[in-house]
Amino acid sequence: MSKSSTVAQSKDAERLVADELKGRRLTAGEWRGRGDADVVGPGRHPKWMAQVKHRSNLPTYLTEGLKQIREAVGSSDTIPLVVIRTKPGRGRQAETLVVVDVETWNRVYRGGAGSGYRGLHTTT
């Protein structure tokens, strides 16, 4: 696969993520002033920013973790999270990441009808 093809796929993934999250993809000139974000939330003062990573596959531990927690949660309003924690090592602290699927993110962030959540989103 050529580099231009990979770059095009990454940009397409950023556009799709912006659409799924109801955010906006930053152009090359914009992200320089905002670190290395690809997508930002709606409004003049976005409440979130995202760095999009496009991959062919997710690691098995992550897909299995998502499957397990989805089964455990079932149809309840409980938020299914996968938490990944790294081991501390030579001079570096452990890191903890929380992974949630887009559907759950939108349900919690927007507090959609019947979601059981108040929502975190406010437009400014």
- pLDDT tens digit sequence for 1-13: 566 688 899 999 9
Query: Average pLDDT of 54-82?
Result: 94
pTM of the entire structure?
0.73
Q: Which domain holds residue 116?
A: 57-124
- Indicate the pLDDT class of residue 120, thresholds 50, 70 and 90: low
8 A C-beta contact, residue 42 and residue 50: no
Residue ending a domain, among 54, 69, 88, is 54
Q: Could you tell me if 65 and 13 lie in one domain?
A: no
Q: Could you tell me if 86 and 63 lie in one domain?
A: yes
Q: Could you tell me if 21 and 81 lie in one domain?
A: no
Question: Nearest-CA neighbor of 37 among 28, 87, 91?
Answer: 28
Residue 40's beta-bridge partner residues? 24, 49
Long-range contact set of residues 65-68: C-beta below 8 Å, sequence gap at least 24: 65/99, 66/99, 66/101
Q: Could you tell me if 61 and 37 lie in one domain?
A: no
Report the domain count for the chain: 2
